[in-house]
Structures are given as structure tokens and as C-alpha cells.
């Protein structure tokens, strides 16, 4: 029995992607189904860790408003956790975010500050930064792009779970690059166990793309948590290929996943074609096409 919804964060299942594995021979491909988190995405992990880290350090208390920029999932996570813990939450979001995510944030009681869609996640970041600088006594700025508690959440939870769920046999980890918390934190934990584990970062191929939550680092604001030399390899995914994989996973697996999960699947499949006797794990950050 869970005493709080927050106790349900993490310990997500590892899925065998049968329709892809049947073509891969001795290579096995698995995906962490992060929509099983109560807020519906992998961002629940980092959201909880960043808030509780700030509480432990005494820089977040009930007189502070939690402030952050988000393109969707982090906003939902912070709104949910803030509601459970009794915090006010204000979120700066592009006006074209997924409608379901916007409604979730509002249902949890968060105040939304909408910015033009063309400004994107980078624009939202700068607006949140300005709001904090203008009134630092009122706000606690999460700053997921630069907050070390973001990758630490995945070092402590996601990486540990993957090792246990694969019986410590994982050889390759494939993750999208957005804030880079999942990639950096999970990758660090896996490499500490086995330095030969390969860490693969997934980025959109185009500068203007349709893969929500991912960044082409060459033409975006680079998160402070990201180290470009850390991934052993980078795979760049065309938006159209992500859309096609999204349709494939629905038709063949009954999985309604977001474009970032589809991009990670496409990248993992491309990687697998050149491997033998490998265990590849990727992340499905959210589900239901959000």
C-alpha cells in the first residue's frame, strides 16, 4: 500500500519490444515504460528529486512559489508534486503544448504563463529566469537544465532499476537528449557498473523539428547538465522517421507513445543492426501520444 502518490514514482516496467526483437537475432531491445509514473512521464523522477533536494537544503519552503519552464512533462510532474506537498506552482509554457498536458497542469492547480509557440522551450526558460530575477524572494526556480539533482534522480533510480531488471547484462543505453538528465544520470550509473557500457544520445536531425522534448544541441541552448563528450555515440533522428516509428509501435505493439519515445526506438533499432549479443535499453519517456 502506498501512503502517498509520490511513493508510486519509479520502479517502472521494462518492456520487451517483440515486433522489433524478432528481426534482431542475438540482440535484445527493451524499453522502460515511464508512463507508469503517476504523472505519466519520466519527469516525475527528476521533479520529485529536485523538489526534495531543495527541501533538504532549506531553500524551498511553503512561502516560496515553485517556478519552472516546461514544454509539458516537467510541468505536469511539478504541478502534481506541488499539489501533494502543498506548494503553489507557476509554469512558463509555449502556447502550443499538448492540450492534455496543459489540462493536467491546470487540474493540479498550477498557474500557467503562456508564451508564443515560436519561442519554444528556450524562450520559456528565459521568461522563467527573468521572473525569478525580478522577484527572487517569492520564487524557487527549479532550473531543470542546470540543476544537478535532475541527473542525480536518474543515477539513483533509473540506472539502478535498469541494472536490476536486466540482471546487470545491459550493454547499450539509448536516451533522448532534452534537459539531458536521463541520459547523463542513468549513463553514469551504468558506466560505474561496467565502463564498457555504451551510452547513446538521441537528437533530432533537423534544427526545426517535430520531436517534442528533444534538442538538437548544435542549434539550441545547451543545458548545464549536459557534457557533449559523455555519450559514446550520437544518433540523429529525422522527424518523419520518428512519426513512422510512432505509427509502427501502435500497430504492432499496441503502444501509444510520444514522439521522443518513437525517436529513441528508431535510434535503438539503427544501433542494433550493427551489433551481436547485445542488450539494449531505451527510455519511453511518456505514453498515450502525448
What pLDDT is stored for residue 154 in this prediction?
A: 99
Neighbours of 282 (CB within 10 A): 27
Hey, which residues are catalytic here?
A: 43, 260
For helices 73-85 and 99-107, the axis angle rounded to 10 degrees is 10
- The per-residue pLDDT for range 246-262, each reduced to its tens digit, is 999 999 999 999 999 99
Percent of the chain with pLDDT over 90: 87
Query: What's the distance, CA 200 to chain centroid?
Result: 15
Q: For residue 207, which of 192, 197, 221, 220 has the smallest C-alpha distance?
A: 220
Instruction: Please report which confidence band the pLDDT of residue 288 belongs to, taking 50, 70 and 90 as the band edges.
Output: low
- The per-residue pLDDT for range 165-206, each reduced to its tens digit, is 999 999 999 999 999 999 999 999 999 999 999 999 999 998
For helices 239-253 and 259-272, the axis angle rounded to 10 degrees is 90
Q: For residue 91, which of 126, 66, 61, 64 has the smallest C-alpha distance?
A: 66
Residue 98 C-beta-side C-alpha neighbours within 13 Å = 21
Neighbours of 229 (CB within 10 A): 5
Q: If you average pLDDT over residues 213-219, what whole number do you get?
A: 86
Architecture of domain 43-141: 3-Layer(aba) Sandwich (3.40)
Q: Domain residue spans in the chain?
A: 5-42+151-284, 43-141
Residue 173 cell numbers, joined: 543505453
Residue found under cell 536521463: 182
* Cβ–Cβ < 8 Å for 174, 281: yes
Q: Which residues pair with 174 in a beta bridge?
A: 200, 282
What pLDDT is stored for residue 162 in this prediction?
A: 99
What pLDDT is stored for residue 75 in this prediction?
A: 97
The answer to whether residue 1 scores a pLDDT higher than 80 is no
Each as own residue / partner, the long-range contacts of residues 1-9 (CB below 8 Å, 24 or more positions apart, any chain) are: 4/84, 5/38, 5/80, 5/84, 6/38, 6/48, 6/81, 6/84, 8/37, 8/38, 9/37, 9/38, 9/39, 9/44, 9/45, 9/48
Q: Hey, what CATH topology would domain 5-42+151-284 get?
A: Rossmann fold (3.40.50)
What pLDDT is stored for residue 243 in this prediction?
A: 96
The answer to whether residue 290 scores a pLDDT higher than 80 is no
Strands of the 139-141 sheet, one edge to the other: 111-115, 89-94, 65-69, 139-141
| 70-74, 82-86, 162-166: the lowest-pLDDT one | 70-74
- Interacting residues of 111 by C-beta distance below 8 A, sequence separation 6+: 88, 89, 90, 91
Q: If you average pLDDT over residues 5-26, what whole number do you get?
A: 94
Instruction: Please report which confidence band the pLDDT of residue 210 belongs to, taking 50, 70 and 90 as the band edges.
Output: confident
Same fold, 5-42+151-284 and 43-141: yes
- The per-residue pLDDT for range 271-283, each reduced to its tens digit, is 999 899 999 999 9
The answer to whether residue 289 scores a pLDDT higher than 80 is no
The answer to whether residue 241 scores a pLDDT higher than 70 is yes
What pLDDT is stored for residue 209 in this prediction?
A: 85
Distance between CA atoms of residues 93 and 39, nearest Å? 17
Amino acid at each position: 500500500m502506498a501512503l502517498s502518490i509520490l511513493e508510486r514514482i519509479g520502479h517502472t516496467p521494462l518492456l520487451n519490444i517483440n515486433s522489433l526483437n524478432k528481426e534482431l537475432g542475438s540482440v535484445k531491445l527493451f524499453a522502460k515504460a515511464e508512463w507508469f509514473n503517476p504523472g505519466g512521464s519520466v519527469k516525475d523522477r527528476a521533479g520529485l528529486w529536485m523538489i526534495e533536494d531543495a527541501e533538504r537544503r532549506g531553500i524551498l519552503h511553503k512561502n516560496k512559489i515553485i517556478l519552472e519552464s516546461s514544454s509539458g512533462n516537467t510541468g505536469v510532474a511539478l504541478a502534481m508534486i506541488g499539489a501533494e506537498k502543498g506548494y503553489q506552482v507557476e509554469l512558463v509554457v509555449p502556447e502550443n503544448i499538448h492540450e492534455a498536458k496543459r489540462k493536467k497542469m491546470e487540474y493540479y492547480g498550477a498557474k500557467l504563463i503562456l508564451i508564443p509557440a515560436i519561442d519554444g522551450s528556450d524562450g520559456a526558460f528565459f521568461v522563467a529566469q527573468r521572473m525569478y530575477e525580478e522577484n527572487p524572494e517569492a520564487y524557487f526556480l527549479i532550473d531543470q537544465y542546470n540543476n544537478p539533482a535532475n541527473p542525480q534522480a536518474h543515477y539513483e533510480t533509473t540506472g539502478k532499476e535498469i541494472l536490476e531488471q536486466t540482471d546487470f547484462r545491459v550493454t547499450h543505453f539509448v536516451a533522448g537528449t532534452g534537459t539531458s538528465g536521463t541520459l547523463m544520470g542513468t549513463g553514469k550509473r551504468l558506466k560505474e557498473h561496467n565502463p564498457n557500457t555504451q551510452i547513446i544520445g538521441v537528437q533530432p536531425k533537423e534544427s526545426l523539428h517535430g520531436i517534442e522534448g528533444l534538442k538538437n544541441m548544435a542549434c539550441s541552448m545547451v543545458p548545464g547538465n549536459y557534457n557533449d563528450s559523455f555519450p559514446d555515440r550520437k544518433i540523429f533522428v529525422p522527424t518523419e522517421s520518428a512519426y513512422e516509428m510512432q505509427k509502427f509501435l501502435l500497430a504492432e505493439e499496441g503502444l501509444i507513445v510520444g514522439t521522443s519515445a518513437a525517436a529513441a526506438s528508431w535510434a535503438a533499432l539503427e544501433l542494433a543492426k550493427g551489433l551481436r549479443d547485445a542488450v539494449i535499453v531505451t527510455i519511453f519517456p511518456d505514453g498515450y501520444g502525448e
